[in-house]
Structure formats: C-alpha cells, structure tokens
Chains A and B, each alone.
Chain A
Amino acid sequence: MKEQNQQSTINNQQSKPYLFDNPKNVKILLRCFYCSLLVLLIIEFFLHKHPHFAWEGWPEFYAIYGFVACVVLVVVAKYILRPLVKRREDYYD
C-alpha cells in the first residue's frame, strides 16, 4: 500500500506541468530573446564609442563577431575535431 502511494506520488510529480513543459512558454522565452537582440542592435547607434581598434567602431561589430565565432567554433569542433579525436569509451582500457 505504502509503495503504491509512493508510486502515485512519483506519477503525480511526473505529470505535474513544469515551466517549460508547456511549448507556449518556450515560445514566449524565444520571442523575448529575439526582441532583446533587436534592441541591442538598435541601441548601438545611440552610443558614442571610443574604440581601441578601428573595427570596434564598425556598426554591429560585436554582434557579428559573436555570431560568426560561435558558428565557426561549433562547425570546426563537430566536423574537424570530433572525427579526429573521437574514440570509444573503453579506448584506454
């Protein structure tokens, strides 16, 4: 009986909806994220920059660099590094 109770508690817990179980919430989060990106892109034009390097003054330099850097990072890691270094888990055993 006690075990059954425990089981039902676990089931209840599992069926309890959590924040991101609802796809709507994920969508809202993503939309907020995209909006903040837009704000960041626009806000830059209202700033007075004092760059060390010339390219720091280019419009949206940091945004483009951040995006490109991460794409390069992932592509290189996935398509170049992983095929080179990936081994089975028991490789050294």
Chain B
Amino acid sequence: MTDPVPPVIIFVVGALLVPFIKGSWKSAFLLAIPVVGFLNLISISEGTHWVVGFLDYRLVFGRVDRLSLLFGYIFHIISFIAILYSLHVKDNLQLIAGLVYAGSALGAIFAGDLLSFFVFWEMLTVSSIFLIWARRTEASLGAGYRYLLVHAAGGLCLLAGIVIHVNQTGSIEFGYLGLNGLGTYLIFFGFGLNCAWPLLHTWLTDAYPEATITGTIFLSAFTTKVAVYALARSFPGTEALIWIGAIMTGFPIFYAVIENDLRRVLAYSLINQVGFMVCGIGIGTALAINGAVCHAFNDILFKALLFMSMGAIMYRTGKINGTDLGGLYRTMPLTCVFCMVGAASISAFPLFSGFVSKSMVMDAAAGGHMRFIWFILLFASAGVFHHAGIKIPYFAFFSHDSGMRPKEAPIHMLLAMGIAAFLCIFIGSFPGFLYSLLPYPVEYVPYTAPHVVGQTQLLFFSALAFTLLLLSGIYPAEMRCINLDADWFYRKGGRLFFYVMDRTLNKINRVCEGVFVGGITGYLARISKDVVPRFILLGMVSFWVLTGSRGEVLQMKKMNVYNDFLKGTLPVGIGAGVAGLFIVLLFVLS
C-alpha cells in the first residue's frame, strides 16, 4: 500500500478530474472519491504528518488526533452520502464545488497551524458560494453575494486576529488559545461568525435555503461544524460560549415556528443544534466536550437527512413552502419515513442518535449546577421537537392535502437517505461504537430508566401541546411572508448607506464641480488670458497720462498695446523689455 496523503488532496484532485470523466463511469468515479479518502484516512496514524517549511514557520497539514479524526470520519461519511444524493446532477460546477468544499473542510480540521488553517477556511467560503449561485435564480445570486460579504468580513477578522496573535507570541501553532488579548478575541469572533452566533447567524438562514437542492446537503455539514471544531480546539472552557450557545439554542426556535419555507425552518434548527455544541464547548469538561463533538457527528447525519428529504420533495414538486405542500405521504412514503427518522433523531427520541449526544451536554450543564442554562437547553429540546420534529414532517407529508401526487424520490436519493437514516438509528441504539471514537474516555450511560422516561415525557407532552394547539386553531397558520431577522440591518442598512453616500458624496461632487470646474478654472482662464497686458497697461497708462496723452489718443495707445500683447505681435524691443522686467521681478521677489 502506498503512503497516505493529506485527505484534502484526494478531494481536490478528484474535483479537478470531474470535467474529464463522462458517461456512466462518472457516478462510480464520484462515489469512489470519499471511499478512497476514507481508506486513506484510516491508514493515517495519530501524530503529526506532512510538515512543510514556509518562511520561518512550519506548516502542518496533518495534525491527527482523536478530535480531528472524529471530524475526519464524519466528513468522509457525509461526503459519500451527499455525492450519492447528487448523482442526478449533471452540472459540473456543483459537483466540483461540493468536492472542493468537502476537501477544504478536511484540510481545515487536519491543519496544525493557523496559516494553513486560514487558507482552508477561506477555501470553504469560496467553494461553498458556488453551491448557492449554482441554483441560478435572482434570489440565490443576491443571497450568495450577501453570504460572500459576511464571510469575507469574518475571514478578515480572523486573519487580523491571527496576524496579531502570531506577532505577539511568535507561534503559528493552532492549539488552545483562550481569550487573552485582542488577537485571540478577533480569532474567537471569526470562528463565531462561521458558527452562526446570534446576530451573526443570518448568512446561514439567508443563504442555505436559496442553495441548490444538493448544495444544501453539503452546506449543512461543513461550515458550521468546522467552526465548532475550531472552537473545541482553541477555546474549550471559555465561559462566554456557554451563554452564546444557550441563546443559540433558544431564539431560532421562535423563528422556526412562524417560518413558511421548510428548508429555512431547518436552517434555524441547524443554529439551534449548533447551540448545544457551542454550549458544551463552553462548559469545557470532558463530558461536555465529548457531548459537543458527539452531537456534531450526529447532527451532520440527521440534519443532512432532513435536508435530503425536503430536497427530494423540492426535486419532485418544485415547491418547498409549507403553504404549498401537504399530504405527500400518499405517494412519497419512503421519503416520509426517512424524514421522520431524521425528525426523531434531531428531537432526541430514545433509540435515535440525538438522544445519546444531546443529553451529554445537558448532563454536563446539570453537573456544573448551571440551572438557568439547563432550563434554556431543556426548553430548546422541547422546542426543537416542536418545529423540526413535528412541523417539518407534518406540513410536508400530512396536514391538508395539497392535491399533488408526485412520484417517490429517485433511487439514489432514497439510498442516500436510507444510509443516513440507518446510521441515525444505529448510533442511537448502539452508542458505544461512537463513544469509543470520542476525544475523551466515556463513562456516560444514556439509557437509564429515568432519562428515557423523562425525555419521552418531555417530547410526548410537547407533541400533545402541538396537537391541542392545532386542533384549537391557535397554532400559527403557515403564511406567505418573510420574517425580518438581523440581516435587516445590512440589507436595509446597506441601502441606507448607499442612499446616504449617494446624497452626500454626489452633492459634494456637484458643489466641487461648480466651484472648481465651472468657477475657479474659468475665472483663472479668463484672468490668465490678459493678465500681462493689463499689468503692463497699469504702468503704461500712468506714464502716458503723465506725458500728456488724453482722450482718443490715450484710448488708441491702450488698444494697440493690449491687442499686440494678446496676439503676440509686440516689437521685439518691448517683448525683450518685458522679459527683462519679469526676470528682475523674479530676482527681487526671490
């Protein structure tokens, strides 16, 4: 067997070869990339590999430990699932962008230094944007530009942080940083933007629902999870993260309840789930970190599964709004079942994957006696079941009959969803396998009778609330509308900025034009034209008056001299005299 290579290389080289492979081999080739990548990954031993000298620094492309390996495994698995799901796509742009995007994520998590990490981080942004633009609608174009601008700002912030940090410490090692000094705060903020922290989150809910059907599967897996990895690597135990995470779990669920676009509902629930991870990283104990990364692993699977089921509906019906859908269980039963497996997993039903990981974070919060945090997380657990667990399947597959009878999803989509659904149930039922891969040894036992009953009660009674609210008509009806979010500030603010700039700068421009182009320049031109004869006449007229010239004679003399100067037809002697006078004047003045 050949020596392993950095995982990113397999994906990027694979992506570059995509345009050259045609016909039926293409599917096999695409699927082979994550398989070969996975075989490569398991042949890499823990430790530091592929160290390259760059200027005075050492770039590390293979820092392989239990934390990065876990993310490496799931990134390969989800790449395989997403590629399988995308096999109908003929658009090379999407395929290449998806592969480079997955490769960049792998590059970032195995990077052992901040410089190469930053390069992969930016590659993530650049490649992901094509998954949004590839939908080729006006909305996706606009959302893509906003996504790019927000991430460019975040990336610059991160770069500034890295530069300051490296300048201060002289080290580019990408390890524990902690919050100490401006540089680390900027890095923290840069990670937070990709993590979709509150108020910084709108790039996610704005852009993900506008991406292509298959692009969203890739998007849901990588950007936020790389940011979670980065926080777990550099800022574990940072108290601010506990609160940020708790707010992240709480506020999106309110939006999710009133949102009509079902993929946008999932985007909000993505923030909610990442909140659990961020909170766990903030708590920082071994149990909490294990819970956070374990939940990241599971979230990638069940969130992709939910997005895939919604994507299958979009593929078959061309619609995604709750107002347009309903009753699809009739002709898309398998998609419906897979969606419900995803819904049960994200809601943390016993025997489904969310149950074995989310509860670790909850337990860590309880173990740290964080009452308020624990209450928020519990509220979010009930809420996520409400909007992602019930709302998504209910409005898509049940609810009122939309009259649509689309065909079941294509076979490759069903297979991709089936694999994800199987993994969700497998991990939920046999958590020991995933636990053995976590960064710290696991003593946690998820399946205790009080835990199972308590969690089931929580979920069933929130389902009861949903049922009663729906039957009583209180449940908010799906509406064709948009809901304002923090992106209002830059979407409307951007226009205000443009308006203000337009009014002030253009006004200044007009005034300047009036003063300099129309005013001073013309005045100077007029003055310069006859300044010399006028100056000369000043002296000459006094001389002529003194020598007795008056009336018409004086007038004629003035006219002659003036015209001679303008036309340059002076007698040579006078011209030389004036030039001499000029030199004398210069000499005197200097």
The contact size tier of chain A is: 35 or more
Contacts of A37 in B (CB 8 A): 460-461, 464
Write out, one digit per residue, whether chain B residues 438-480 have a CB within 8 A of any chain A CB (1) or not (0). 0000000000011001111111111111110100001110011
Contacts of B483 in A (CB 8 A): 81-82, 85-87
In the complex, how many residue pairs between chain A and chain B have their CB atoms under 8 Å apart? 148
A77 lies within 8 A of B476 (CB): yes
B463 lies within 8 A of A78 (CB): no
**Contact A91-B482, Cβ < 8 Å, known A65-B382, A66-B382, A69-B379:** yes
CA distance A44 to B463 in the complex (A): 18
CA distance A62 to B378 in the complex (A): 9
**Contact A71-B465, Cβ < 8 Å, known A43-B453, A49-B450, A92-B491:** yes
Closest to A74 in B: B469
CA distance A92 to B476 in the complex (A): 23
B383 at interface, CB cutoff 8 A = yes
Closest to B387 in A: A73
Quick one: which of B374, B454, B461, B481 contacts A87, CB cutoff 8 A? Answer: B481
Closest to A14 in B: B405
Contacts of A30 in B (CB 8 A): 467
Contacts of B378 in A (CB 8 A): 65, 69
**Contact A62-B482, Cβ < 8 Å, known A18-B330, A37-B464, A52-B366:** no
The SS class assigned to the B binding surface is helix
A62 lies within 8 A of B455 (CB): yes
B71 at interface, CB cutoff 8 A = no
CA distance A10 to B467 in the complex (A): 32
Contacts of B467 in A (CB 8 A): 30, 33
B118 at interface, CB cutoff 8 A = no
Closest to B455 in A: A62
CA distance A86 to B255 in the complex (A): 10
B457 lies within 8 A of A66 (CB): yes
B257 at interface, CB cutoff 8 A = yes
A78 lies within 8 A of B257 (CB): yes
B382 lies within 8 A of A70 (CB): yes
Closest to A50 in B: B450
CA distance A32 to B462 in the complex (A): 16
A89 at interface, CB cutoff 8 A = yes
B258 lies within 8 A of A73 (CB): no
Contacts of A70 in B (CB 8 A): 382-383, 386, 461-462, 465-466, 469
B565 at interface, CB cutoff 8 A = no
Q: Which 3 A-B pairs have the closest CB atoms?
A: A70-B465, A52-B366, A66-B461
A contacts, CB < 8 Å to B: 10, 13-14, 18-20, 30, 33, 36-37, 40-41, 43-44, 47-53, 56, 60-67, 69-71, 73-78, 81-82, 84-89, 91-92
Q: Could you name 6 residue pairs across A and B whose Cβ atoms are closer than 8 Å? A: A33-B464, A61-B454, A63-B460, A66-B459, A66-B461, A82-B483
